[in-house]
Structure 1
Protein backbone atom coordinates (compact mmCIF):
# COMPACT_ATOMS: atom_id res chain seq x y z
CA UNK A 1 0.00 0.00 0.00
CA UNK A 2 1.11 3.51 -0.76
CA UNK A 3 1.61 5.90 2.18
CA UNK A 4 -1.34 8.03 0.99
CA UNK A 5 -3.65 4.97 0.99
CA UNK A 6 -2.59 4.15 4.55
CA UNK A 7 -3.24 7.78 5.51
CA UNK A 8 -6.75 7.59 3.97
CA UNK A 9 -7.51 4.36 5.86
CA UNK A 10 -6.16 5.82 9.12
CA UNK A 11 -8.18 9.02 8.80
CA UNK A 12 -11.33 7.19 7.85
CA UNK A 13 -10.94 4.62 10.60
CA UNK A 14 -10.25 7.22 13.32
CA UNK A 15 -13.19 9.41 12.28
CA UNK A 16 -15.36 6.30 11.93
CA UNK A 17 -14.56 5.39 15.54
CA UNK A 18 -15.51 8.91 16.61
CA UNK A 19 -18.72 8.78 14.54
CA UNK A 20 -19.64 5.38 15.99
CA UNK A 21 -18.99 6.68 19.50
CA UNK A 22 -21.18 9.72 18.88
CA UNK A 23 -23.92 7.41 17.61
CA UNK A 24 -23.70 5.29 20.75
CA UNK A 25 -23.91 8.40 22.96
CA UNK A 26 -26.91 9.60 20.96
CA UNK A 27 -28.64 6.24 21.45
CA UNK A 28 -27.92 6.31 25.19
CA UNK A 29 -29.42 9.82 25.30
CA UNK A 30 -32.51 8.49 23.47
CA UNK A 31 -32.83 5.69 26.02
CA UNK A 32 -32.64 8.09 28.97
CA UNK A 33 -35.15 10.47 27.41
CA UNK A 34 -37.55 7.65 26.50
CA UNK A 35 -37.24 8.47 22.79
CA UNK A 36 -35.62 5.22 21.64
CA UNK A 37 -38.73 4.03 19.81
CA UNK A 38 -39.74 7.46 18.58
CA UNK A 39 -39.87 7.76 14.80
CA UNK A 40 -39.90 11.54 14.53
CA UNK A 41 -38.36 13.51 11.71
CA UNK A 42 -36.20 15.38 14.23
CA UNK A 43 -34.68 12.13 15.50
CA UNK A 44 -33.99 10.93 11.96
CA UNK A 45 -32.45 14.22 10.85
CA UNK A 46 -30.27 14.38 13.97
CA UNK A 47 -28.97 10.88 13.26
CA UNK A 48 -28.26 11.85 9.66
CA UNK A 49 -26.36 14.99 10.71
CA UNK A 50 -24.36 12.92 13.21
CA UNK A 51 -23.17 10.81 10.28
CA UNK A 52 -22.63 13.57 7.70
CA UNK A 53 -20.67 16.05 9.85
CA UNK A 54 -17.87 13.66 10.89
CA UNK A 55 -17.44 12.54 7.27
CA UNK A 56 -17.02 16.17 6.20
CA UNK A 57 -14.69 16.90 9.14
CA UNK A 58 -12.57 13.87 8.25
CA UNK A 59 -12.20 15.09 4.67
CA UNK A 60 -11.43 18.67 5.70
CA UNK A 61 -8.79 17.52 8.19
CA UNK A 62 -7.35 15.04 5.70
CA UNK A 63 -6.89 17.90 3.24
CA UNK A 64 -5.24 20.07 5.92
CA UNK A 65 -2.79 17.33 6.85
CA UNK A 66 -2.13 16.55 3.19
CA UNK A 67 -0.60 19.98 2.44
CA UNK A 68 -4.01 21.33 1.40
CA UNK A 69 -4.07 18.80 -1.41
CA UNK A 70 -7.20 16.74 -2.02
CA UNK A 71 -8.63 14.80 -4.92
CA UNK A 72 -12.22 13.65 -5.21
CA UNK A 73 -10.98 10.05 -5.01
CA UNK A 74 -9.19 10.73 -1.73
CA UNK A 75 -12.29 12.42 -0.32
CA UNK A 76 -14.43 9.44 -1.30
CA UNK A 77 -11.89 7.06 0.24
CA UNK A 78 -11.84 8.92 3.55
CA UNK A 79 -15.64 9.25 3.56
CA UNK A 80 -16.34 5.61 2.74
CA UNK A 81 -13.89 4.29 5.35
CA UNK A 82 -15.39 6.67 7.93
CA UNK A 83 -18.96 5.57 7.10
CA UNK A 84 -18.02 1.87 6.98
CA UNK A 85 -16.27 1.98 10.36
CA UNK A 86 -19.21 3.86 11.89
CA UNK A 87 -21.65 1.35 10.38
CA UNK A 88 -19.78 -1.64 11.82
CA UNK A 89 -19.70 -0.02 15.26
CA UNK A 90 -23.40 0.83 14.98
CA UNK A 91 -24.28 -2.73 13.96
CA UNK A 92 -22.25 -4.19 16.83
CA UNK A 93 -23.82 -1.76 19.31
CA UNK A 94 -27.32 -2.47 17.96
CA UNK A 95 -26.76 -6.20 18.44
CA UNK A 96 -25.61 -5.58 22.02
CA UNK A 97 -28.48 -3.14 22.63
CA UNK A 98 -31.22 -5.44 21.33
CA UNK A 99 -29.87 -8.61 22.94
CA UNK A 100 -28.45 -7.46 26.28
CA UNK A 101 -29.12 -3.84 27.21
CA UNK A 102 -32.79 -3.80 26.14
CA UNK A 103 -33.52 -7.49 25.53
CA UNK A 104 -37.20 -6.80 24.88
CA UNK A 105 -36.34 -4.11 22.31
CA UNK A 106 -38.14 -5.80 19.40
CA UNK A 107 -41.26 -6.41 21.51
CA UNK A 108 -41.39 -2.79 22.69
CA UNK A 109 -40.73 -1.62 19.15
CA UNK A 110 -43.63 -3.76 17.94
CA UNK A 111 -45.90 -2.27 20.63
CA UNK A 112 -44.92 1.24 19.61
CA UNK A 113 -45.47 0.48 15.91
CA UNK A 114 -48.81 -1.11 16.75
CA UNK A 115 -49.90 2.04 18.56
CA UNK A 116 -48.81 4.19 15.61
CA UNK A 117 -50.66 1.97 13.12
CA UNK A 118 -53.84 2.22 15.19
CA UNK A 119 -53.54 6.02 15.18
CA UNK A 120 -52.76 6.26 11.48
CA UNK A 121 -55.30 3.65 10.37
CA UNK A 122 -58.16 3.71 12.91
CA UNK A 123 -60.26 1.15 11.02
CA UNK A 124 -57.53 -1.52 10.92
CA UNK A 125 -58.73 -4.83 12.33
CA UNK A 126 -56.92 -6.60 15.16
CA UNK A 127 -56.03 -9.43 12.79
CA UNK A 128 -54.55 -7.07 10.19
CA UNK A 129 -52.59 -5.32 12.90
CA UNK A 130 -51.22 -8.61 14.26
CA UNK A 131 -50.23 -9.72 10.74
CA UNK A 132 -48.36 -6.45 10.09
CA UNK A 133 -46.54 -6.62 13.43
CA UNK A 134 -45.64 -10.29 12.84
CA UNK A 135 -44.22 -9.37 9.43
CA UNK A 136 -42.15 -6.59 10.95
CA UNK A 137 -40.74 -8.92 13.59
CA UNK A 138 -39.75 -11.47 10.94
CA UNK A 139 -37.91 -8.73 9.07
CA UNK A 140 -36.05 -7.30 12.08
CA UNK A 141 -32.81 -8.85 10.78
CA UNK A 142 -32.95 -6.46 7.80
CA UNK A 143 -31.97 -3.67 10.21
CA UNK A 144 -28.32 -4.73 10.14
CA UNK A 145 -27.67 -4.76 6.38
CA UNK A 146 -29.78 -1.58 6.11
CA UNK A 147 -27.46 0.19 8.58
CA UNK A 148 -24.46 -0.84 6.48
CA UNK A 149 -25.98 0.14 3.14
CA UNK A 150 -27.44 3.40 4.45
CA UNK A 151 -24.14 4.50 6.02
CA UNK A 152 -22.21 3.63 2.87
CA UNK A 153 -24.68 5.48 0.64
CA UNK A 154 -24.69 8.59 2.83
CA UNK A 155 -20.91 8.39 3.23
CA UNK A 156 -20.43 8.15 -0.53
CA UNK A 157 -22.81 11.00 -1.39
CA UNK A 158 -21.40 13.24 1.34
CA UNK A 159 -17.78 12.54 0.43
CA UNK A 160 -18.47 12.99 -3.29
CA UNK A 161 -20.04 16.41 -2.69
CA UNK A 162 -17.34 17.41 -0.19
CA UNK A 163 -14.64 16.11 -2.52
CA UNK A 164 -15.96 18.15 -5.44
CA UNK A 165 -16.26 21.25 -3.25
CA UNK A 166 -12.86 20.89 -1.58
CA UNK A 167 -10.72 19.35 -4.31
CA UNK A 168 -7.48 21.01 -5.17
CA UNK A 169 -7.31 22.37 -8.68
CA UNK A 170 -4.12 21.89 -10.60
CA UNK A 171 -1.93 24.94 -10.92
CA UNK A 172 -0.68 25.85 -14.38
Structure 2
Protein backbone atom coordinates (compact mmCIF):
# COMPACT_ATOMS: atom_id res chain seq x y z
CA UNK A 1 0.00 0.00 0.00
CA UNK A 2 1.81 3.09 -1.30
CA UNK A 3 0.43 6.59 -0.98
CA UNK A 4 1.00 8.76 -4.03
CA UNK A 5 0.54 12.52 -4.27
CA UNK A 6 -0.55 13.65 -7.71
CA UNK A 7 -2.40 16.53 -9.38
CA UNK A 8 -6.18 16.14 -9.63
CA UNK A 9 -7.64 14.96 -12.94
CA UNK A 10 -10.93 15.37 -14.75
CA UNK A 11 -12.08 11.91 -13.65
CA UNK A 12 -11.52 12.81 -9.96
CA UNK A 13 -14.39 15.30 -9.82
CA UNK A 14 -17.04 13.03 -8.26
CA UNK A 15 -14.70 11.59 -5.62
CA UNK A 16 -13.24 14.98 -4.67
CA UNK A 17 -16.61 16.73 -4.48
CA UNK A 18 -17.86 13.86 -2.28
CA UNK A 19 -14.93 14.26 0.11
CA UNK A 20 -15.44 18.02 0.04
CA UNK A 21 -19.06 17.55 1.19
CA UNK A 22 -17.93 15.26 4.03
CA UNK A 23 -15.25 17.70 5.14
CA UNK A 24 -17.61 20.69 5.11
CA UNK A 25 -19.46 18.96 7.97
CA UNK A 26 -16.22 19.53 9.93
CA UNK A 27 -15.91 23.13 8.68
CA UNK A 28 -12.97 22.22 6.46
CA UNK A 29 -12.90 23.30 2.81
CA UNK A 30 -11.31 20.36 1.02
CA UNK A 31 -11.41 21.86 -2.47
CA UNK A 32 -10.11 25.22 -3.64
CA UNK A 33 -13.48 26.32 -5.00
CA UNK A 34 -16.62 24.31 -4.32
CA UNK A 35 -19.16 25.65 -6.79
CA UNK A 36 -16.95 26.29 -9.80
CA UNK A 37 -16.94 24.38 -13.02
CA UNK A 38 -14.52 21.46 -12.61
CA UNK A 39 -12.49 22.59 -15.61
CA UNK A 40 -12.04 25.98 -13.94
CA UNK A 41 -10.90 24.28 -10.71
CA UNK A 42 -8.28 22.27 -12.62
CA UNK A 43 -7.11 25.41 -14.45
CA UNK A 44 -6.70 27.20 -11.10
CA UNK A 45 -4.69 24.25 -9.77
CA UNK A 46 -2.41 24.42 -12.82
CA UNK A 47 -1.95 28.21 -12.56
CA UNK A 48 -1.09 28.02 -8.87
CA UNK A 49 1.34 25.15 -9.44
CA UNK A 50 3.16 27.23 -12.06
CA UNK A 51 2.83 30.47 -10.07
CA UNK A 52 1.19 32.16 -13.07
CA UNK A 53 -1.59 34.78 -12.99
CA UNK A 54 -2.08 34.42 -9.26
CA UNK A 55 -4.79 36.50 -7.61
CA UNK A 56 -3.74 38.85 -4.81
CA UNK A 57 -2.85 36.99 -1.63
CA UNK A 58 -2.06 33.69 -3.41
CA UNK A 59 1.37 32.07 -3.72
CA UNK A 60 2.77 29.32 -5.92
CA UNK A 61 1.33 26.10 -4.53
CA UNK A 62 0.72 22.50 -5.49
CA UNK A 63 -2.76 21.16 -4.78
CA UNK A 64 -2.35 17.39 -4.86
CA UNK A 65 -4.64 14.47 -4.16
CA UNK A 66 -3.44 11.57 -2.03
CA UNK A 67 -4.21 8.23 -3.61
CA UNK A 68 -3.79 4.71 -2.22
CA UNK A 69 -4.47 1.70 -4.44
CA UNK A 70 -6.48 3.83 -6.88
CA UNK A 71 -8.63 5.43 -4.15
CA UNK A 72 -8.40 9.11 -3.20
CA UNK A 73 -7.95 9.25 0.58
CA UNK A 74 -7.05 12.91 1.08
CA UNK A 75 -5.19 15.90 -0.27
CA UNK A 76 -2.49 18.44 0.41
CA UNK A 77 -1.70 22.03 -0.51
CA UNK A 78 2.03 22.67 -0.59
CA UNK A 79 2.75 26.41 -0.54
CA UNK A 80 6.24 27.50 -1.51
CA UNK A 81 6.09 30.92 0.16
CA UNK A 82 4.24 32.55 3.03
CA UNK A 83 1.95 35.56 2.92
CA UNK A 84 1.09 37.39 6.15
CA UNK A 85 -2.03 35.20 6.48
CA UNK A 86 -0.14 31.97 5.84
CA UNK A 87 2.57 33.01 8.31
CA UNK A 88 -0.10 33.60 10.95
CA UNK A 89 -2.44 30.62 10.54
CA UNK A 90 -2.14 28.80 7.20
CA UNK A 91 1.45 27.60 6.95
CA UNK A 92 3.35 25.97 4.11
CA UNK A 93 1.25 22.79 4.13
CA UNK A 94 -2.47 22.23 4.47
CA UNK A 95 -3.49 18.59 4.39
CA UNK A 96 -6.60 16.54 5.05
CA UNK A 97 -7.66 12.91 5.13
CA UNK A 98 -11.25 11.94 4.34
CA UNK A 99 -13.09 10.58 7.42
CA UNK A 100 -13.36 6.95 6.21
CA UNK A 101 -9.56 6.74 5.75
CA UNK A 102 -8.32 8.23 9.03
CA UNK A 103 -6.16 6.50 11.63
CA UNK A 104 -4.23 4.52 8.99
CA UNK A 105 -1.07 6.65 8.77
CA UNK A 106 -2.18 8.52 5.66
CA UNK A 107 -1.90 11.98 7.23
CA UNK A 108 1.67 11.34 8.33
CA UNK A 109 2.65 10.12 4.86
CA UNK A 110 0.90 13.07 3.18
CA UNK A 111 2.77 15.50 5.42
CA UNK A 112 6.11 13.69 4.93
CA UNK A 113 5.78 13.83 1.15
CA UNK A 114 4.68 17.47 1.29
CA UNK A 115 7.75 18.35 3.37
CA UNK A 116 9.98 16.52 0.88
CA UNK A 117 8.53 18.67 -1.93
CA UNK A 118 9.33 21.80 0.07
CA UNK A 119 12.87 20.57 0.73
CA UNK A 120 13.34 19.88 -2.98
CA UNK A 121 12.19 23.45 -3.72
CA UNK A 122 14.73 24.90 -1.28
CA UNK A 123 12.39 25.66 1.63
CA UNK A 124 14.54 24.76 4.64
CA UNK A 125 11.97 25.30 7.41
CA UNK A 126 8.26 24.72 6.96
CA UNK A 127 5.45 26.18 9.01
CA UNK A 128 2.61 23.73 9.61
CA UNK A 129 -0.46 24.74 11.60
CA UNK A 130 -3.50 23.03 13.03
CA UNK A 131 -6.43 23.76 15.30
CA UNK A 132 -5.50 23.62 18.97
CA UNK A 133 -8.12 20.90 19.55
CA UNK A 134 -7.14 18.65 16.60
CA UNK A 135 -5.29 15.86 18.41
CA UNK A 136 -4.80 13.83 15.22
CA UNK A 137 -3.03 16.69 13.43
CA UNK A 138 -1.01 17.54 16.54
CA UNK A 139 0.30 13.96 16.65
CA UNK A 140 0.94 13.92 12.90
CA UNK A 141 2.91 17.17 12.93
CA UNK A 142 4.92 16.17 15.98
CA UNK A 143 5.61 12.72 14.45
CA UNK A 144 7.14 14.56 11.47
CA UNK A 145 9.44 16.60 13.72
CA UNK A 146 7.26 19.64 14.33
CA UNK A 147 8.44 21.96 17.08
CA UNK A 148 5.68 24.07 18.60
CA UNK A 149 6.41 27.79 18.35
CA UNK A 150 3.17 29.04 19.85
CA UNK A 151 -0.62 28.91 19.92
CA UNK A 152 -2.39 31.94 18.48
CA UNK A 153 -5.95 33.13 18.60
CA UNK A 154 -6.21 34.56 15.11
CA UNK A 155 -9.88 35.47 15.26
CA UNK A 156 -11.07 31.93 14.60
CA UNK A 157 -13.29 29.89 16.89
CA UNK A 158 -10.35 27.66 17.84
CA UNK A 159 -6.77 28.91 18.38
CA UNK A 160 -4.09 27.70 15.94
CA UNK A 161 -0.99 25.76 16.94
CA UNK A 162 2.05 26.81 14.88
CA UNK A 163 4.84 24.31 14.33
CA UNK A 164 8.15 24.61 12.48
CA UNK A 165 9.74 21.59 10.82
CA UNK A 166 13.26 21.45 9.36
CA UNK A 167 12.80 19.92 5.92
CA UNK A 168 16.40 18.69 5.52
CA UNK A 169 15.49 15.19 6.70
CA UNK A 170 12.88 14.74 3.98
CA UNK A 171 14.49 13.70 0.72
CA UNK A 172 13.58 12.69 -2.78
CA UNK A 173 14.39 9.00 -3.11
CA UNK A 174 13.39 8.13 -6.64
CA UNK A 175 11.52 9.16 -9.75
CA UNK A 176 8.56 7.39 -11.26
CA UNK A 177 9.72 5.58 -14.38
CA UNK A 178 9.00 7.72 -17.44
CA UNK A 179 7.79 10.69 -15.39
CA UNK A 180 9.35 13.90 -14.16
CA UNK A 181 7.32 13.69 -10.93
CA UNK A 182 9.44 12.60 -7.97
CA UNK A 183 8.40 9.82 -5.64
CA UNK A 184 8.95 11.36 -2.24
CA UNK A 185 9.82 9.58 0.97
CA UNK A 186 10.55 11.15 4.32
TM over 0.5: no
Bigger radius of gyration: 1
Higher strand share: 2
- Larger RCO of the pair (alpha carbons < 8 Å, separation 6+): 1
Higher helix share: 1
TM-score normalised to structure 1 length: 0.27
TM-score normalised to structure 2 length: 0.25
